[in-house]
Chain A
């Protein structure tokens, strides 16, 4: 926010890099340690939820109603995965493993959980980052331009687009994109994943990025309008600063913190939000893995996946906090 004397905060004396480094390191270490209780709470919640909800991994094996399974086999599976043990023992075993960076064994694939999650990680990150890049590249300029001409046709049109973007169901939007760009225009593949292929990521990234794009456009517009009406901007204008310079030097920097906050929250949550899009486009990400694992009650994979999603959210937010300090020297990371 602007300083009381009307000077832009950007001009205040910033800490030198040497001063900032120990603070930053301390901040990162402290925030990393703070993640531990959050992760523990998440693990406990998942454990409790899946111990009370009906259905089990064993019953999921019979869910198709097709293959009859031998009762002996089912009993041995229960034993093999420790499902016959009391809940507190299972929880302790899991936490003990976790303390040793062991996420356990997947009930379904009988592989270490990390082996199941790892191939899904990069496609998910790639999709989330591409979707966010699209959202930022379109949403921020749109919001900025709309705010510079409030009440204009462009402003109204942009905000209508933003509201539509926020309200349109992702599944429907994805299908629409498939129909137009794959089936009618034949420009892009309608589904699938090819490592290194840009063509395959365009449609799912747009479908996933439209909602954050709309949110960014609205947030940016609101932020810019707020700053444009601030005292320090009025003072700068009175001093004869040209409009382009005013926007570039004073407005942009002050809006960035707000934009960055929205951006960070959106990137953090996109990995979890991508479930529908991943399913629709056969994108091999964390989201579709989570859904499949919940449906089959593959609890170790559910827990591992949720831990990864929560970690991603926490790390992104920590990075955003660090970025605040770089953008706005008034904000200190302590």
Chain B
């Protein structure tokens, strides 16, 4: 397994290196035709009004946040600020803003940052990005109606803003969110959904709802010499077979692949050399509800982990477009323990554990699942015979996406199969298993373990990143031991791209979210792209 993981990491790195190696001399001009593959529409051009990845794909081209995610280093880094100083107590950050211009010509200043964050946190506006503001001091009071503004935000001068936070965690993890961009305070709010005005590398040229978004280069983008492209078209294409035809026909320049296409593309001599892969920060799992008596017993949960041959499922059903999971944190996480071993496929051990737990005569539960090919009913159907061999009877509770989340948030399930964020910030995503995290936040399995809580508390108070990672590694290993879920796989995101495309990055947060300003096309591109 470790060899396999090592090989996987090397392959991913290799693919990434191959992609970057071509990017030595970027060429300006041309058009890149990209896809937003998670549906045939976007919700809004105002990224603060939506929590959907599909919208983020478009929003990333138009807007910018105080920080950005660096896919190469795997850390947040400053974006709209040129420098930051941190106070001795580690809770006050002073940012010197870059000389940046909005698409409408307004200049970025400290008031824009303060206005944007107040707007995001405003309870009356009920914006999804409010989640990213919770670390800022005074947000709780502001949201409770005890203050008319966020006290932790302070303007020092036009280009300097001070942000006070409530804990020692790096605020970059929250403020890099594409759902928390900086908007111009002088721009009419009611136009944000139809005529967005951001600080990003591209500005809106044409939007056909339900079909496509056409963007053009913003000449005053604050990163000099970028973007390289003149135009960026984002096609809203939810149907994988249609994307496949369009990609092979050269109508789109990149295609996000599913398991079946992944297998076909890697076997196609004409396509296999232009595939980008990355281990994304999503963990597919079956969560066990402890309100079912059997699931209160750790041995039962472990037995289920031993009874399922996940390697076989990943190979046969997912066509190796996934990495078998070890614990909760994904491979790319800095707190991932490379020495940890996943649950081996061991039906005898599973039987033994079930016998010890008093379920020798059988156990029955249902799995609430959507039709998703990688973490839905097909997977449950595959595990049914495996679990039957150890005396566990599984039934299915088929639902659609919004019903799945509804059932989980309202505690109306025995178990569920889902794909959940598990990074990039290991502290944030392990905190989902903290006993005080409510079920309707992200502690879906109501995990409650004093030792685990202690480790999370320790990690939260640790300022040394290496030491913090060490503590989180222990917490992640404890989670594996406790098995509150069946650890299935970490998503392997795969994108095929045309040979003339350069600058795509293996973004572990979401491969379809790209730094568009770094993408360029070479002379081999067809005339329609020039």
Chain A residues lying within 8 Å of B251, measured Cβ to Cβ, are 182, 189-192
How far is A57 from B51 in the complex, measured between Cα atoms in Å? 12
- The answer to whether residues A288 and B405 also contact, given A66-B282, A70-B130 and a CB cut-off of 8 A, is no
- The answer to whether residues A73 and B400 also contact, given A64-B51, A193-B208, A282-B212 and a CB cut-off of 8 A, is no
A183 in the interface (beta carbon within 8 A): yes
Q: Which residue of B lies closest to A78 (CB)?
A: B126
Q: Which residue of A lies closest to B179 (CB)?
A: A67
Within 8 A of B (CB), among A163-183: 175, 178-179, 182-183
How far is A101 from B387 in the complex, measured between Cα atoms in Å? 56
B332 in the interface (beta carbon within 8 A): no
Of A90-98, A214-222, A230-238, A290-298, which stretch is located at the interface? A290-298
CB < 8 Å: which of B245, B418, B442 contacts A68? B442
A109 in the interface (beta carbon within 8 A): yes
How far is A279 from B237 in the complex, measured between Cα atoms in Å? 8
How far is A76 from B212 in the complex, measured between Cα atoms in Å? 31
| Contact B419–A54 (Cβ < 8 Å) | no
| Contact A65–B131 (Cβ < 8 Å) | no
| Contact B401–A76 (Cβ < 8 Å) | no
How far is A64 from B402 in the complex, measured between Cα atoms in Å? 9
| Contact A282–B235 (Cβ < 8 Å) | yes
Within 8 A of A (CB), among B237-272: 237-239, 241-242, 245-246, 248-249, 251
B135 in the interface (beta carbon within 8 A): no
- The answer to whether residues A191 and B210 also contact, given A60-B402, A77-B126 and a CB cut-off of 8 A, is no
Chain B residues lying within 8 Å of A282, measured Cβ to Cβ, are 40, 210-212, 235-237, 239, 242
- The answer to whether residues A284 and B211 also contact, given A80-B126, A190-B251 and a CB cut-off of 8 A, is yes
Chain B residues lying within 8 Å of A182, measured Cβ to Cβ, are 245-246, 249, 251
Q: Which residue of A lies closest to B144 (CB)?
A: A72
Q: Which residue of A lies closest to B412 (CB)?
A: A54
Chain B residues lying within 8 Å of A54, measured Cβ to Cβ, are 399, 403, 406-407
Chain A residues lying within 8 Å of B210, measured Cβ to Cβ, are 119-120, 123, 278, 282-285, 288-289
| Contact B44–A110 (Cβ < 8 Å) | yes
A18 in the interface (beta carbon within 8 A): no
Chain A residues lying within 8 Å of B40, measured Cβ to Cβ, are 278-279, 282, 284, 288, 292
Chain B residues lying within 8 Å of A295, measured Cβ to Cβ, are 400-402
Chain A residues lying within 8 Å of B44, measured Cβ to Cβ, are 108-110
A63 in the interface (beta carbon within 8 A): yes
| Contact A68–B131 (Cβ < 8 Å) | yes
Chain A residues lying within 8 Å of B193, measured Cβ to Cβ, are 109-111
Distance of A66 from chain B, by nearest CB (Å): 5
| Contact A71–B130 (Cβ < 8 Å) | no
How far is A56 from B400 in the complex, measured between Cα atoms in Å? 11
| Contact A66–B438 (Cβ < 8 Å) | no
Distance of B72 from chain A, by nearest CB (Å): 22
How far is A105 from B507 in the complex, measured between Cα atoms in Å? 36
Within 8 A of A (CB), among B390-435: 399-407, 409, 418-421, 432
Of B123, B124, B179, the most chain A CB neighbours within 10 A belong to B123
CB < 8 Å: which of B126, B242, B441 contacts A178? B242
Chain B residues lying within 8 Å of A71, measured Cβ to Cβ, are 438, 440-441
What mask results when residues 33 to 55 of chain A are scored 1 for a CB within 8 Å of chain B, else 0? 00000000000000000000011
Chain B residues lying within 8 Å of A116, measured Cβ to Cβ, are 209
| Contact A73–B126 (Cβ < 8 Å) | yes
Number of interface residues of B (CB under 8 A): 59
- The answer to whether residues A175 and B241 also contact, given A108-B43, A279-B40, A285-B210 and a CB cut-off of 8 A, is yes
| Contact A59–B238 (Cβ < 8 Å) | no
Chain B residues lying within 8 Å of A278, measured Cβ to Cβ, are 40, 210
How far is A108 from B438 in the complex, measured between Cα atoms in Å? 25
Within 8 A of A (CB), among B190-208: 193, 208
CB < 8 Å: which of A69, A186, A190, A297 contacts B242? A190
How far is A296 from B44 in the complex, measured between Cα atoms in Å? 14
B39 in the interface (beta carbon within 8 A): yes
| Contact B128–A59 (Cβ < 8 Å) | no
B495 in the interface (beta carbon within 8 A): no
- The answer to whether residues A65 and B211 also contact, given A70-B134, A73-B123, A77-B126 and a CB cut-off of 8 A, is no
B49 in the interface (beta carbon within 8 A): yes
CB < 8 Å: which of A57, A73, A80, A189 contacts B130? A73
Chain A residues lying within 8 Å of B50, measured Cβ to Cβ, are 108
How far is A76 from B123 in the complex, measured between Cα atoms in Å? 7
Chain A residues lying within 8 Å of B209, measured Cβ to Cβ, are 116, 119-120, 284
The size class of the interface chain A forms with chain B is 35 or more
| Contact B400–A55 (Cβ < 8 Å) | yes
| Contact A190–B246 (Cβ < 8 Å) | yes
| Contact B211–A178 (Cβ < 8 Å) | no
Chain A residues lying within 8 Å of B211, measured Cβ to Cβ, are 192-193, 282-284
Distance of A106 from chain B, by nearest CB (Å): 9
Chain A residues lying within 8 Å of B478, measured Cβ to Cβ, are none
| Contact A66–B421 (Cβ < 8 Å) | yes
| Contact A191–B242 (Cβ < 8 Å) | yes
B143 in the interface (beta carbon within 8 A): yes
How far is A123 from B245 in the complex, measured between Cα atoms in Å? 22
| Contact A281–B242 (Cβ < 8 Å) | yes
How far is A109 from B45 in the complex, measured between Cα atoms in Å? 9
Distance of B120 from chain A, by nearest CB (Å): 10
How far is A63 from B282 in the complex, measured between Cα atoms in Å? 14
| Contact B131–A279 (Cβ < 8 Å) | no
B53 in the interface (beta carbon within 8 A): yes
Distance of A186 from chain B, by nearest CB (Å): 7
Q: Which residue of A lies closest to B140 (CB)?
A: A72
Distance of B482 from chain A, by nearest CB (Å): 21
How far is A69 from B438 in the complex, measured between Cα atoms in Å? 12
How far is A138 from B206 in the complex, measured between Cα atoms in Å? 36
Chain A residues lying within 8 Å of B236, measured Cβ to Cβ, are 282
How far is A70 from B212 in the complex, measured between Cα atoms in Å? 30
Q: Which residue of B lies closest to A296 (CB)?
A: B402
How far is A280 from B251 in the complex, measured between Cα atoms in Å? 15
B12 in the interface (beta carbon within 8 A): no
| Contact B51–A67 (Cβ < 8 Å) | yes
How far is A119 from B45 in the complex, measured between Cα atoms in Å? 15
Q: Which residue of A lies closest to B236 (CB)?
A: A282
Q: Which residue of B lies closest to A63 (CB)?
A: B401
A61 in the interface (beta carbon within 8 A): yes
How far is A296 from B440 in the complex, measured between Cα atoms in Å? 18
- The answer to whether residues A289 and B241 also contact, given A54-B407, A67-B131, A73-B123 and a CB cut-off of 8 A, is no
How far is A327 from B419 in the complex, measured between Cα atoms in Å? 60
A148 in the interface (beta carbon within 8 A): no
Chain A residues lying within 8 Å of B43, measured Cβ to Cβ, are 108-109
Of A70, A80, A178, the most chain B CB neighbours within 10 A belong to A70
Supplied contacts A68-B442, A182-B245, A282-B237, 16 more A-B pairs, CB within 8 Å? A55-B399, A55-B403, A56-B406, A65-B282, A69-B51, A70-B131, A119-B208, A179-B245, A190-B245, A190-B249, A191-B235, A192-B212, A193-B211, A279-B239, A282-B211, A295-B400
For this complex, 14 residue pairs linking A to B, each with C-beta atoms less than 8 Å apart, are A54-B403, A65-B420, A72-B130, A109-B193, A110-B49, A119-B210, A189-B251, A190-B246, A193-B208, A193-B212, A282-B40, A282-B242, A283-B210, A284-B210
User: Which residue numbers of A lie inside 8 Å of B, CB to CB?
Assistant: 54-57, 59-74, 76-77, 80, 108-111, 116, 119-120, 123, 175, 178-179, 182-183, 186, 189-193, 195, 278-285, 288-289, 292, 295-297
User: Which residue numbers of B lie inside 8 Å of A, CB to CB?
Assistant: 39-41, 43-44, 49-53, 123-128, 130-131, 134, 143, 179, 193, 208-212, 235-239, 241-242, 245-246, 248-249, 251, 282, 399-407, 409, 418-421, 432, 438, 440-442
